[in-house]
Amino acid sequence: MKTIHTQDISREIREMCIEVNHILSEDMRSCMKQAREKEESSVGKQILEQLEENLKIAETDWIPVCQDTGMAVVFLKVGQEVHIVGGSLSDAVNQGVRDGYRDGFLRKSVVEDPIYRENTKDNTPAVIHYEIVEGDQLEITLAPKGFGSENMSRVFMLKPADGIEGVKEAILTAVKDAGPNACPPMVIGVGIGGTFEKCTLMAKHALTRNLKESSDVPYVRELEKEMLEKINNLGIGPGGLGGRITAYAVNIETYPTHIAGLPVAVNICCHVNRHIARIL
């Protein structure tokens, strides 16, 4: 049995909130560099160069990579042999977010109620997803989600007869509808199967997968490649001003589903696709 104190969890999440909003992950850096090399449009190349310059300034001058520092989405994989002490795990996560956004001088974007909309002034509560797994580790994945791209996300409750072609059409429809509003080049997270809520969770989680890694499932791996090619043939391009590179990657997760359904969720993220993971 491994004991982890909630203070250590809060401290780790505080650091993660600050780092992820200032420094782009290595997989995203690599994708952006490759995008610049592949982009055929002169305007598209210029935009990608400006995005890279923005990232350099953010890291050097310690300024957030985007003014929208997002709503904190936290995935926790809690080992069965982990014993959390010192209070509530949820409270510890929210304290870490609260400290990170305060100490990092990050924009507070969360409102207490979706209708009355009074700002909580500390970017909490976070959206927390728990998974109990084997082992004695606590894996924390943090993905601050900006709402320019979040608002462009879609859920499609397809019929089984729609099949894989229906899935392809759903993904393309979501990207076409998003157009320039999701700050392209985008990262496209897709969840296929499960139920209404399960497919959306998979789509969100898919955005946190290293963009240099492909699915272990052969047909899903081929689908990711095909959809990326089709999306990059739409002509939306960097900044929505035309060009070859509309998306860096399409990450897909699947899950068993009911005989009567084919749920598909498309969660779109902007060109920075902030994500960071640590293990305690």
Q: Which tens digits make up the pLDDT trace of 198-235?
A: 999 999 999 999 998 989 999 999 999 999 999 999 99
Distances (CA, A) of 214 to 44, 98, 150, 209, 251: 26, 34, 23, 9, 8
Q: Provide the pLDDT for residue 252.
A: 98
Q: Provide the pLDDT for residue 21.
A: 97
Q: Provide the pLDDT for residue 64.
A: 96
Q: Provide the pLDDT for residue 264.
A: 98
How many CB atoms within 10 Å of residue 112?
Answer: 12
Q: Provide the pLDDT for residue 16.
A: 98
- Please list the ranges in the chain whose pLDDT falls under 70: none
Give the number of C-alpha atoms closer than 13 A to the C-alpha of residue 39, restricted to the C-beta side: 28
d(CA 279, CA 258): 34
Provide the β-strand partners of residue 262. Answer: 158
Specify the pairing of strand 262-269 against strand 154-158: antiparallel
Q: Provide the pLDDT for residue 172.
A: 98
Q: Provide the pLDDT for residue 152.
A: 96
d(CA 253, CA 27): 19
Label residue 245 exposed, middle or buried (CB < 10 Å: 0-12, 13-18, 19+): buried
Give the length of the chain.
Answer: 280
- Please confirm whether the linkage preceding 185 is cis (ω < 30° from 0): yes
Q: Provide the pLDDT for residue 227.
A: 98
How many CB atoms within 10 Å of residue 225?
Answer: 13
Q: Provide the pLDDT for residue 234.
A: 96
d(CA 203, CA 266): 6
Distances (CA, A) of 87 to 93, 95, 119, 135, 242: 11, 11, 26, 21, 51
d(CA 47, CA 185): 10
Q: Provide the pLDDT for residue 146.
A: 95
